[in-house]
Every structure is written in C-alpha cells, then in structure tokens.
Amino acid sequence: MAIVAPSFLSANFLNLEADIKMINESEADWFHLDVMDGRFVPNITFGPMIIEFIRKASTRFFDVHLMIVEPEKYVEDFKKAGADMLTVHEECCVHLHRNIQQIKSLGMQAGVALNPGTPVEAVKEVLDDLDMVLIMSVNPGFGGQKFIPNTLNKIRTLRRMIDERGLATKIEIDGGITLENAHSIIKAGADVLVAGNTVFKSKDPKDTIAQLKKITR
C-alpha cells in the first residue's frame, strides 16, 4: 500500500490548526512540508519555525522537502524543528554525498529530489545511501500545476534501478497528483504520493485522502 502525504503548501494558513487536526484524523500517512527560498524556486514559503509549531500538534511522520540553495546550512535547524525525513535537491548540492551523510548523521532519513529536466541517473552513485528519491512531476515552486506525463517513464526507470540493487529506497512523486492519475503513478512503481490541491481544495479532504489510499491498495 502506498503512502499518502498531503502537501501543506495547499493548506489554509489562516487556520492551520484545523488542517493539522484533519490530517491527524485522516488516513494520511505523512505530512509533506515544502520549504522554498525564493532563489532556487520563484516562491517563498516557510522555514523551521512553522514546522516546529506544526510538530507540536502532530506525531505523524514529517517529510520535509527543501527547495533551497545551500541546504547544508539549515539541516540542523530542520532536525530541531521536527523533520523525520529531509529531502534536498540534486540540482542544489555541489557535494551531494556529503549532504546526504550530514542528514543521516543527525538521525533523519535522507531523500534527494529531481526536477523534471533532471534524469534519474543523477542519483545512480548515491542510490544505496538514500531512503527516498523524490521525482518532481511539475516544475517546483507553485502548487496546482498539471502532472508532466513523462514522469511515468522516469518512475519506471528508477524502479528498475532500485529493484536491480535490491534496495528499499522509496519513490515519491510530487506535483499534479489527482484521483484520476494516482493509479497509473502507483502502477509505474511509486511508493509515496504527495497531494496538495487534490486534498485541501476538495469538498471533503478526509474522504479524498481515503479515496487515494483505496486507489493505492
């Protein structure tokens, strides 16, 4: 069964407590928390302080996705804020292996994210060290974008790479996931679905999460 990770980028920041409570009461597995710096991506979201406040209201797994340059400067801050998994972008890391080891040395799981234009082969040399690879299925920076179809080919390629090595590395897909395309994404080999607008903009978010979980069974 796949993991469903609602993306708080789409939550109601005027009433975060209600959305946190909704996720806590739902079938969702993880909180997906997007950190953007306005440099790597054309948007600014939130940092460790907000994650720390959310952490106080939930014991769920915190999947923190850093869309920032020089992530190594902030790894300890996100650990203190409550991150369970910290994912950095391959495109931002000059010394990717060192970044991964830094994350793991602090007791967090480590992930690497790949933009739509970055081939999955970019993580070939560090795949054995990773807990997760995040394939961006939209260009990062904003929610509500449409799923890029070629992502399915990237998922299949990465799935083969992982299975051939006998690894337990998860494949996470972020961007444009809907109730209509979730099945094909899971069938291609994904393990984790990040859903933002599909969950938070629906009339009944808890029911939408339940439907996503049902699709992934």
- What would the pLDDT profile of 6-55 be if each residue is shown by its tens digit? 999 999 999 999 999 999 999 999 999 999 999 999 999 999 999 999 99
Percent of the chain, pLDDT > 70? 100
Count of Cβ atoms closer than 10 Å to residue 154 Cβ: 23
- The CATH number of the domain where 149 resides is what? 3.20.20.70
Rounded-to-integer distance, Cα 214 and Cα 196, Å: 17
pLDDT of residue 49: 97
Residue 217 has pLDDT above 80, yes or no: no
pLDDT of residue 156: 98
As given in the structure block, the two tokens for residue 55 are 């952490």
As given in the structure block, the two tokens for residue 146 are 């449409």
pLDDT category of residue 143 using cuts at 50, 70 and 90:
confident
pLDDT category of residue 145 using cuts at 50, 70 and 90:
confident
For the annotated binding site, the residues are 7, 32, 34, 65, 141-144, 174-176
- Reduced to 3 states, what is the DSSP secondary structure of residue 56? coil
Counting the structural domains of the chain, the total is: 1
CA 94, chain centre distance (Å): 21
Look up the domain containing 54 and give its range: 3-215
For the annotated binding site for substrate, the residues are 7, 65, 141-144, 174-176
**Mean pLDDT along residues 50-62:** 97
- Which pTM was predicted? 0.96
- What would the pLDDT profile of 64-79 be if each residue is shown by its tens digit? 999 999 999 999 999 9
- What would the pLDDT profile of 77-136 be if each residue is shown by its tens digit? 999 999 999 999 999 999 999 999 999 999 999 999 999 999 999 999 999 999 999 999
Nearest of 45, 50, 113 to residue 77 by alpha carbon:
50
Active site residues: 34, 174
CA torsion through residues 149, 203, 195, 43, sign: positive
Residue with tokens 């790597």: 40
β-partners of residue 177 are: none
Q: Are 135 and 158 in contact (CB under 8 A)?
A: yes
**Mean pLDDT along residues 142-156:** 91
